[in-house]
Amino acid sequence: MTRQRKAALVGFARAAAITAVFNTVVAVAILPFVDNSLGGLLLTSHLIGYTILFLVYPVLRLKLRPLWRWLSTAAALTLGAVLGTVLVVIAKGYDLDKMFADPSHLRVLTSTIVLALVAGTVALAVLATRARIARADAELMRSEADRQRLARKHAEAELKVVRAQIEPHFLFNTLANLSFLIKEDPQLALAMLENLIDYLQAAVPRIRGETSTLRNELAMASAYVSILQIRMGDRLRAIFDVPPEHLAIAFPPMMLITLVENAIKHGLNELAEGGTITVTSSRDEQRLRLCVADSGVGFPGAHADLRGGVGLVNIEERLAAMYGAQGRLTLSANSPRGTVATIEIPIEGTADA
């Protein structure tokens, strides 16, 4: 049995249960006003009620325009009331011809049909209200499931980012360079050690936090670049041009350094002469744009499909989890060569830390 069919059967079972309760309530309610037994009223109420249900329920499940749905439901309700009344007459052993020929009996049949229409309309209103509530509950559950799914993706993406950024080979290479420089150039070794300390001081708190500031992310990226400049020499040049008034804006941790690392690894390292990385920012009233541009190999190079990289994919996943459609990462060609990676996020205040 398919999930859709099972859901339909469960929905019909619920409607049948509600109809049973409603039929019983109607029979008991009209008992003091008619010359009939409770058993006879229950038979009448249930026969008419379930006849209406069997005719109306399939119509309600059809995907129709509002006007056609209303007309179809009204037709099914009317047919159910008439057919249900006829079934009552047959079930009680009355002669249909005599019932329709006798004016007094015909008035009773007409009154029964009118009462069935009124009761059926009320029952449909109850079922429609419950259906709206059920749809609202289902939508709420779907929204909660989506939220939990995005939260899991967010957590997984952050874990991957941590693994991608605090890479063992980066630390090992830096320590190996330190070991060499201590013997050959102690002053340069001290500068590299200070930059490594700055990098770790900036990076470790950001790993566990969901929010940071542009100031903190720039500090970490600057320390990271300073370490690599000692290793790469003149092959790596960096420009950080971020207005001071942008520094306190809240910014997701570990994203800027991912773009910087990506630009160096896939852009500048491919060129013997290296190149320049430029970090800039701009904003309007509602959005912040942070750009990391490099003068490396760019899109025509061997790493044209930069979106396949784990770091960039993680950024996209985290932006979607944190900001939905308002957060995005775009890649474009730099001039005269290289790549520009841009993160756009809504400005949500400041988060000085």
- For residue 154, tell me if it sits in a domain: no
- For residue 352, tell me if it sits in a domain: no
Average predicted confidence (pLDDT) for the chain: 82
pLDDT at residue 293 in the model: 95
- Domain final residue, candidates 121, 149, 177: 149
Q: How confident is the model at residue 209 (pLDDT cuts 50, 70, 90)?
A: low
**Neighbouring C-beta atoms of residue 341, cutoff 10 Å:** 25
Same domain, yes or no, for 255 and 311? yes
**Does pLDDT of 261 surpass 70?**
yes
Query: What percentage of the chain exceeds 70 in pLDDT?
Result: 85
Residues 201, 198: Cα–Cα separation, whole Å:
5
Number of H helices and E strands in the chain, helices first, is 10, 7
Same domain, yes or no, for 181 and 316? yes
Residues 314, 294: Cα–Cα separation, whole Å:
20
Range of the domain at 228: 166-346
**Does pLDDT of 328 surpass 60?**
yes
This prediction has a pTM of 0.53
Which range has the worst mean pLDDT, 270-274, 306-310, 344-348?
A: 306-310
Q: For residue 290, what is the enclosing H or E element?
A: strand 287-294
Same domain, yes or no, for 110 and 175? no
- For residue 158, tell me if it sits in a domain: no
Residues 195, 295: Cα–Cα separation, whole Å:
24
Residues 73 and 56: beta-carbon distance below 8 Å: yes
Residues 6+ apart with CB under 8 A from 347: 249, 250, 283, 285, 286, 287, 288
Same domain, yes or no, for 195 and 265? yes
Same domain, yes or no, for 63 and 179? no
Biggest alpha carbon–alpha carbon distance for the chain:
120
- Domain final residue, candidates 117, 149, 181: 149
Same domain, yes or no, for 132 and 216? no
Q: How confident is the model at residue 63 (pLDDT cuts 50, 70, 90)?
A: confident
- For residue 60, tell me if it sits in a domain: yes
Same domain, yes or no, for 136 and 281? no
Q: How confident is the model at residue 96 (pLDDT cuts 50, 70, 90)?
A: confident
**Does pLDDT of 104 surpass 90?**
no
What's the rounded mean pLDDT across residues 224-250?
A: 91
Same domain, yes or no, for 195 and 132? no
- For residue 159, tell me if it sits in a domain: no
Residues 234, 248: Cα–Cα separation, whole Å:
31
Chain length of the chain: 353
- For residue 187, tell me if it sits in a domain: yes
User: What is the Cα 337 distance to its own chain's centre?
Assistant: 37
**Neighbouring C-beta atoms of residue 98, cutoff 10 Å:** 10
Same domain, yes or no, for 125 and 185? no
Residues 112, 41: Cα–Cα separation, whole Å:
11
- For residue 292, tell me if it sits in a domain: yes
As for how many domains the chain has, the answer is 2
* Count of CA atoms in the C-beta half-sphere (13 A) of 299: 10
Same domain, yes or no, for 7 and 136? yes
Using left for φ > 0, alpha for ψ between -120 and 50, and beta otherwise, residue 298 falls in left
DSSP letters spanning 145-210: HHHHHHHHHHHHHHHHHHHHHS-HHHHHHHHHHHHHHHHH-HHHHHHHHHHHHHHHHHHHHHHH-S
**Does pLDDT of 160 surpass 80?**
no
Same domain, yes or no, for 58 and 126? yes
Residues 264, 35: Cα–Cα separation, whole Å:
93
Same domain, yes or no, for 277 and 320? yes
- For residue 181, tell me if it sits in a domain: yes
Tokens of 196: 């490594």
- Domain final residue, candidates 98, 114, 149: 149
Which range has the worst mean pLDDT, 48-52, 64-68, 79-83?
A: 64-68
What is the rounded radius of gyration, in angstroms, for the C-alpha atoms of the chain? 36
**Does pLDDT of 164 surpass 60?**
no
CATH code of the domain in which 218 resides: 3.30.565.10
